[in-house]
Amino acid sequence: MCWTMIDVIAETINLHKMKYFILFGPPGAGKGTQASAMVEKYNLHHISTGALLRKEIAAGTELGLKAKSLIDAGALVPDEIVEGMIESEFKTVKGVNGFLLDGFPRTTAQAEVLDQMLAKTSESVTAVVSIMIPDEMIKERIRHRATIEGRADDAKEETINNRILTYHEKTEPLVDYYTKAGRYNEINGTGTIDEVRENIFALMDTL
Ligand code: AMP
């Protein structure tokens, strides 16, 4: 029997169960920065829907064109776009202990779709790691990142304000969603990068 066949069978009967971590937090909380250390230490595949969308924009694809105006406005792109991206990564990436979702889900509807996606293979979200910073720190962090990464949506005050609004209105309800599911874990994100990373690792070691 070939290895691909063995892999397929092993996955079907869940011999090596994948872990599904959600990295959560407001814009500017440091999710991208911490994700790099987390994927390396725990052999996870990082899926940043924002980064995937920016790649599509840079490549000038139809999907990128559709997403650009919404991202520039600080709004969310349609669910089916990001859900398709997530599902395709789940299906194609192998050889890792699990996935680190960054920027997805962003609404309760997306969280429900994720639950349904995983339920198809009798899997579920392992844990949410939430990096929390107060509102007054969000803008300060984004302004700092703008000088380093040059992201278009970090440059305009109006876009930043809309992203913060969108976060509170549409994404923050997920705290409740995952608390009720017994999956929510919160880390104080106000410390230095090293301090936050150490706290995340201490938590991840228990999950
Ligand atoms: P991020 O890099 O996570 O800050 O995402 C940048 C932008 O991409 C967001 O402001 C949204 O416009 C879009 N985006 C990223 N992830 C999602 C998602 N899960 N649902 C809808 N829009 C998203």
Summarize pLDDT for 52-111 with one digit per residue, the tens. 999 999 999 999 999 999 999 999 999 999 999 999 999 999 999 999 999 999 999 999
Amino acid 86: pLDDT: 96
Amino acid 87: pLDDT: 94
**Ligand 1 geometric centre to CA of 130 (Å):** 16
Amino acid 111: pLDDT: 98
**Ligand 1 geometric centre to CA of 49 (Å):** 6
Amino acid 151: pLDDT: 86
Give the number of the atom of ligand 1 that is nearest the alpha carbon of residue 102: 3
Amino acid 162: pLDDT: 94
- CB of residue 70 inside a 6 A radius of ligand 1: yes
- CB of residue 98 inside a 6 A radius of ligand 1: no
**Ligand 1 geometric centre to CA of 12 (Å):** 31
Amino acid 10: pLDDT: 58
- CB of residue 104 inside a 6 A radius of ligand 1: yes
Summarize pLDDT for 133-178 with one digit per residue, the tens. 998 999 999 999 989 998 888 889 999 999 999 999 999 999 999 9
Q: Flag the least confident range among 28-37, 112-121, 150-159, 197-206.
A: 150-159
Amino acid 15: pLDDT: 54
**Ligand 1 geometric centre to CA of 9 (Å):** 34
How many Å apart are CA 205 and CA 63, to the nearest integer? Answer: 38
With bands split at pLDDT 50, 70 and 90, how would you rate the model's confidence at 7? low
- CB of residue 82 inside a 6 A radius of ligand 1: yes
Q: Which of 106, 114, 117 to mutate to test the pocket of ligand 1 (most atoms within 8 A of CB)?
A: 106
pTM metric for this prediction: 0.90
How many Å apart are CA 126 and CA 115, to the nearest integer? Answer: 11
- CB of residue 125 inside a 6 A radius of ligand 1: no
